[in-house]
Structure 1
């Protein structure tokens, strides 16, 4: 309190004043007494100061949990429509380019049949399928597989099929094929089986009864080689599969002749399984379109299926082809069972 602090100060001043009078001993005594009072005043003032408040602070350390993002792993399957080793080489190049573009981990394979890719996508064992046209139609109907891209050859996303014979065989028309040996590619091949059968039926030939023998060669290349070698009298391929074996058979364009061509068929596809996340689908689509514009990408696509480019399409792109199949009596729903 102010009153308590002022009283010793006044007393000290009085004592100091008293020192001026009196004898030496008295002056010395009073001087030390005054000094003692001053020191006591300082201590009293210090004791009167408030005690600093100690603030206790609790520090909460938050632990940051880092959730490691799992890499996207995909399986990409190719149908065996050409030379298997070439498809593997080109497919692996596309795989590498896709991994670089997307950061995904991709495993590539070439199936043993067209149907194997369809079934793998239906079972979730293949995420991306390079499906032929009819294979896609069936996979969409059966498993909800969706097309994201169509291939481009000769500047267009359409192609035609052809029926070929040896030039020296004497066979000139489709009607001449009765009683002959016929080479097919695969039961799910669009131009190597489905459409040629429609063409033959229109010409009055029953493809199940009017041939002496039928052979499933497994690829378009193999059909051309079988006809060239005389193992089959005729065969069905896309236009113009003869070019794919010209390096090994330089005279194939002269030795093997075309006797009929099909109407236009929408080109083969890059398709994805039903439940693939939309963001993954978009990433794959965007990456493939970009890859198709690079020199390295063009080379890989050409090696796979003689592809020049890729174009974005949706399922409606194949509606016209569905109508053709329906008019020919091909029941997709029945085949999908």
Structure 2
């Protein structure tokens, strides 16, 4: 069984110990588990350490076993700061009060449907009756947007949910599913073997990218310090290298209004949405 780094397993205890044992300002940063936890930790921890150094705020990495568990954490307000998908923000900015600070810049988020490079599928309509895999019911671009497109075209498919974007690519690569949903950033950062084996069959229009948002309990002064440290990463060679590891060019300031178009989308008939009145059971496939 793959073992997580000790520091990753200990992160919540570290945050608690620092908060109780000193006057250090400690904030947890929850990262949506688009990829396995150990991989996320290796990608995000160096950037977190740089932001910690630049801002003077102790940041502690956190994630969850899968995206539905991460959604539960957002619902409870487990994370002081959270890197979440745009649909998560549209829901949890209302129900939990999260406030957008920064988002990836430049660029727009696009959902993808990928197939094996050597498959016979040329159009979305060719997938009728096939098994498709998605990272979770409420993964925005990789699951909600892609399934919305299939439903709009009247293409019936067998839907299965897996733990992460990397799991989607693995299942399609190995032929366990005919196609799957993803996004460009995770496709580009998956294994070379998977990238070589897959091709993009369809991509969506662009939407606002994932924000990093703050829970309302975080003082505005600390929110501002973290925001500025994230934005300044692109000003140094080291910062740009840390961003490049995540397939980012830079962070730019963002505000709640930037996600109005996501909040306005109609999800009628698409299972897995997280409307506030249904949150208790919405994460169950």
- Please give the range of the TM-score, normalised by the shorter of the 2 chains: 0.7 to 0.9
Q: How does 1:110-189 map to 2 (within 5 A)?
A: 110-152=63-105, 155-156=106-107, 158-189=108-139
Shift of 1:132: 1.4
Which of 237, 251, 260 is 2:182 aligned to? 237
Q: Counterpart of 2:207?
A: 265
1:193 correspondence with 2:159: no
CA deviations over 1:69-119 (Å, ceiling 9, x no partner): 822111111111135333202322122112212222222122212343343
Separation in 2, partners of 1:123, 1:331: 14
Shift of 1:166: 1.9
Shift of 1:326: 5.6
Q: 1:328 to 1:148 in 2, by over 3 A?
A: farther
Q: Which runs of 4+ in 1 moved over 6 A?
A: 327-331
TM-score (norm 1): 0.69
Which of 256, 274, 284 is 1:315 aligned to? 256
Question: Does the CA contact (< 8 Å) of 2:90 and 2:262 recur in 1?
Answer: no
CA deviations over 1:106-161 (Å, ceiling 9, x no partner): 22122212343343344343101011112222211221111111112xx32x1211
Shift of 1:263: 1.5
CA deviations over 1:35-81 (Å, ceiling 9, x no partner): xxxxxxxxxxxxxxxxxxxxxxxxxxxxxxxxxx8221111111111
Q: Secondary structure in 2 aligned to 1:258? A: strand
Separation in 2, partners of 1:300, 1:294: 10
Q: Counterpart of 1:215?
A: 160
Q: 1:91 to 1:258 in 2, by over 3 A?
A: closer
Question: Does the CA contact (< 8 Å) of 2:87 and 2:263 recur in 1?
Answer: no
Separation in 1, partners of 2:188, 2:47: 23
Separation in 2, partners of 1:204, 1:324: 18
Which of 70, 74, 86 is 2:39 aligned to? 86
Q: 1:104 to 1:198 in 2, by over 3 A?
A: same
Question: What is the Cα-based RMSD across aligned positions, in Å?
Answer: 2.4
Question: Does the CA contact (< 8 Å) of 1:138 and 1:336 recur in 2?
Answer: no
Q: Secondary structure in 1 aligned to 2:65? A: coil
Question: Does the CA contact (< 8 Å) of 1:79 and 1:131 recur in 2?
Answer: yes
Q: Secondary structure in 1 aligned to 2:114? A: strand
Q: Secondary structure in 2 aligned to 1:182? A: strand
Q: 1:222 to 1:106 in 2, by over 3 A?
A: same
Separation in 1, partners of 2:218, 2:212: 14
Which of 196, 214, 221 is 1:279 aligned to? 221
Separation in 2, partners of 1:198, 1:130: 23
Q: Secondary structure in 1 aligned to 2:201? A: strand
Which of 97, 105, 108 is 2:50 aligned to? 97
Structure 1: 5+ residue stretches without partners: 1-68
Give aligned pairs, total.
257
Structure 2: 5+ residue stretches without partners: 1-21, 281-285
Separation in 2, partners of 1:298, 1:90: 13
Shift of 1:334: 4.1
Larger RCO: 1 or 2 (CA < 8 Å, sep 6+): 2
